[in-house]
Amino acid sequence: MTQVFDVERVLAQLTLEEKASLTSGSDFWHTQGVERAGVPAVMVTDGPHGLRKQPEEADHLGLGNSVPATCFPTAAALGSSWDVELVTRVGEALGRETRANDVAVLLGPGVNIKRTPLCGRNFEYVSEDPVVAGELGTAIVRGIQSQGVGTSLKHFAANNQESDRMRVSAEVDERTLREIYLPAFERVVTNAQPWTVMCAYNKVNGTYASENHWLLTELLRDEWAFEGLVVSDWGAVHDRVPALAAGLDLQMPAAGPRPDEEVVAAVRDGSLDEAVLDVAARRVLGLIARSLPGLESDDSFDVDAHHELAREAAAAGSVLLKNDGGLLPLASTEGVAVIGEFARTPRYQGAGSSQVNPTRLDAPLDALRAAGELAFAPGFTIAGGPSGDDAALLAEAVDVARAADTVVAFLGLPGPDESEGYDRPRLGLPDNQVALLRAVAEVNPRVVVVLANGSAVSVTDWRDLAPAILETWLGGQAGGSAVAELLLGVRTPSGRLTETIPHRIEDTPAFGNFPGEAGVVRYGEGVLVGYRWYDTRAMDVAYPFGHGLSYTTFGYSDVAATADGTDVSVTATITNTGSVAGAEVVQVYVRDPQASVLRPTRELKAFAKVALEPGESRAVSFTLGARDLSYWHPGLHRWVVEGGEFVIEVAASSRDLRGSVSLQIEGEPLWGELTPMSTIEEWLAHPVGGPLLQAALVPPADMGPLDETMQAMIQQMPAKVIADFGLSGFDRETLDTLVAKVAAG
């Protein structure tokens, strides 16, 4: 029988020194225990797409090998499934493995926004859109925590690059933070209550995240009502005393005795209230109490079942970008040549702290050969693969391709290109792979390209060479067999892009503002991130956000939307108009064409994945609320709905709109406060201030009518400037009187 761990009773027993020790880890992976008081140390370990638990003899930096665990697809692939139910099941499996390995908290998921495709850690993040990241982040947290273990939502916040990540200050305006970089965290916290939230390394507007009181306390706890523990990223704490005061609870990993001693000294000299330390210690004890039932269980997991789930997820997250002439699916492996070292040596996960030791590994070449004989040529060398001469390998591949009916070329980014700790060196594929593709296409036009990469790669320079392109991201340990099933039509592709594929790095929103300089990165693109940038600027892209093909087709009909105040109901009927079963991702976007601030052309607000048999139809419905129509008002510092026309769009991608409805929404008055520095235009637009100003601002009798140019110029002048001009009957005293009357209502 599990003994109850009484947090308050234990806390009351602890000395000041013991409470201070609880706010630090005891080593790289464990919290601090207090044997005298019956406080055990519990283990946390890396995720998020698989357990990375080091054995007891692990190296002190935590970089060595880990115990075998299922390597599920990375977030880039899971996100591209757009499948909340599937991601929940993956979370449940991750939770079972975490629990079976006596680990209290799996460190993930990551829901940071993909601000640029060059971020080295994008494979761990879900999307360039906060709704997708938030919904799927919520799903995986719920799944993991349903098994009695915790998660750590990361990296909070504005951690969108690896360059100088431990020092750089992300300079982001309030509206951009609220609309782009915070909503995914907010959605997960308010809907799933992760056991822990992990603060980021970087500074946010000049203050380290670990010492940012607004971020960790005012926003996370006071506004979002977060109930759990705030843990640092490993090495993100520079001074634990101000970090505790800001709302950090646990510094990881252990940093020696000095931080504990500094906390004790600060309490004793009065610079840190002991009540603040008590709150943090209580939260650490609460995490321990929460985790003990799971740690005391004797569970195991089904290795084979988890591998099959990993295969299902890898297939669901693969995106068919192109399929000219219906080249896919392949009828069989007869006459097929497989080219590319990635077919034999698969690229299936990223590098860094999330690297999993898989229970097994499916190579695409083996999976395809299991379906029949085929030719193979490696074509190029990759880091960690067999050695060879690229020129000789290319020549061999051309000979193999010439003799084949169809070529399947496995291309992608080498492992060293994508990792935690540094950003990608390029947007495109390596030169040796592009050269191989060109040479192969010259002798055989029937080329299928299968991509393996953790974030968008440029396809513009070579996509015309390949009638079919299948993007598989980093598909985990079962990705090889999943790809074989997709190529052969055993499964139908149903993934959709959660990030835009641009033509050039120069086209991307953050170009020129990434990765920053002199310790500062300016988010100059504001709210125009990802498809919001490309669509608002009407820029051509290789493949838009939300895009993905299938082996079947889908029709949309009966698109409708109605408003009840600021609640909007959206319905549509989706029909599988093809000959095979498949799944469509229905996307709902909102446009605000009359906004008084710059708003993106369209913003995703809801989605659903709908599986349909051939000929089957299904009605789908969505409910949008005021928040879905709102923008963050930089003057009022809150969400506002500005009344007027809104357009609800039902779509298959941000560029493939299938139906739209225009609605009139009654918003709220947004007049704001009038001051002497408010413009004449702002005064005249105000329902109280406008009539008052018009009555007071009487031009001299000898002044003729103003032309349009002068009227426009005056509209932009602050009222104070007009008063200082000394017009008859309107001076500073009169203006001050008007300001007071407006304030009084």
Interstrand relation of 447-452 and 406-412 (parallel, antiparallel or unpaired): parallel
Interstrand relation of 447-452 and 105-107 (parallel, antiparallel or unpaired): unpaired
- 622's enclosing H/E stretch is strand 617-624
Within 10 angstroms of residue 515's Cβ, the number of other Cβ atoms is 18
**Contact status, residue 185 vs residue 221, Cβ threshold 8 Å:** no
- Type of residue at 631: Y
C-alpha count within 13 angstroms, C-beta hemisphere, residue 54: 20
Within 10 angstroms of residue 113's Cβ, the number of other Cβ atoms is 26
- State both tokens at 313: 């997820």
- Between the alpha carbon of residue 319 and those of residues 126, 406, 673, the distances in Å are 14, 20, 50
For residue 514, the Cα-to-chain-centroid distance in whole angstroms is 18
Place of tokens 């918003």: 667
Q: Which residues contact 278 (CB under 8 A, 6 or more apart)?
A: 11, 19
Within 10 angstroms of residue 487's Cβ, the number of other Cβ atoms is 26
Q: Which residues contact 36 (CB under 8 A, 6 or more apart)?
A: 18
**Contact status, residue 745 vs residue 688, Cβ threshold 8 Å:** yes
- The C-alpha atoms of residue 542 and residue 462 are separated, in whole angstroms, by 11
DSSP state, residue 110: B
**Contact status, residue 605 vs residue 589, Cβ threshold 8 Å:** yes
Longest alpha-carbon distance in the chain: 97
464 in catalytic set: no
Q: What stretches of 250-324 show up as alpha helix (H) in DSSP? A: 258-268, 274-295, 303-316
**What is the layout of strands, in order, in the sheet containing 150-156?**
44-46, 105-107, 150-156, 196-199, 229-232
Q: Which of 310, 297, 400 is nearest to 346 (CA)?
A: 310
Q: What are phi and psi of 653, to 5 degrees?
A: -165, 175
Q: Which residues contact 379 (CB under 8 A, 6 or more apart)?
A: 339, 340, 341, 393, 394, 396, 397, 409, 433, 436, 440
**What is the layout of strands, in order, in the sheet containing 375-377?**
319-323, 468-471, 447-452, 406-412, 336-339, 375-377
In the set 46, 129, 164, 233, the catalytic residue is 233
Cα Rg, the chain, nearest whole Å:
29
Interstrand relation of 207-208 and 203-204 (parallel, antiparallel or unpaired): antiparallel
Q: What are phi and psi of 307, to 5 degrees?
A: -65, -40
**Contact status, residue 110 vs residue 158, Cβ threshold 8 Å:** no
DSSP track, 558-613: EEEEEEETTEEEEEEEEEE-SSS-EEEEEEEEEE-TT-SS---S-EEEEEEEEEE-
Neighbouring-strand partners of residue 375: 337
- Active centre residues (catalytic): 233
